[in-house]
Amino acid sequence: MASVLVVDDSMVMRKGLKAILAQGGYTVVGEAADGDEAVKMYEETKPDFVTMDINMPKMNGIDAVSQIMSSHTDARIIVISSADDKDTIMEALKRGAKYYILKPVTYEKVLDAIDKISKR
């Protein structure tokens, strides 16, 4: 069963994502509420996938993607954000994110993203 690290500063979003992932047959191996925590938890859990929010206090999601990718070039990170602008999407992908989902999050969007990057 593939493992996922869920990163979001919102407790309600983390709980929602966990429910979606569980329904899709994935195991959530960790939760982080900001970019700093995400980098540490990635090292500890080495998940198969990461769902990463962008707009978070302390370290934001885009900087966290950079930090994780600098030491784990094979990391499979899906950025999930409310930021609907091309620059943000391009920046996340340029830093190494493999896919981008715009909120609101749905079961179909999350599982489709994981499915697509699994096939690459």
Partner 1 sequence: MNESPLTLDLTKSHLPSDFQSKIREMEEMSKSSRGPIHLTVNPSGEKGLNVPLFSETTSKLLITRIDPAERKLEYRDPYIDNYLTLKRYAAFAPLSQNSSELFVLNTDSFGAELAFEHLAAFAIPKDEWLTYAKDSLAELTNEILGNLLKTSGMTRHDFACPITIEAEGTQIAVEGGKWLIRNIGKNSSSFIVAISTR
Contacting positions for partner 1 (CB under 8 A): 9-13, 15-16, 18-20, 54-58, 60, 62, 81-88, 91, 102-104, 107
Q: Least Å distance between CB 97 and partner 1?
A: 14
User: Residue 109 half-sphere exposure, CB side, CA atoms within 13 Å?
Assistant: 15
The tokens describing 75, both together, are 């990391």
Given the complex with partner 1, which of 46 and 104 has the nearer CB atom?
104
Residue written as tokens 């969007």? 109
Euclidean distance between CA atoms 22 and 117, whole angstroms: 18
Q: Least Å distance between CB 119 and partner 1?
A: 26
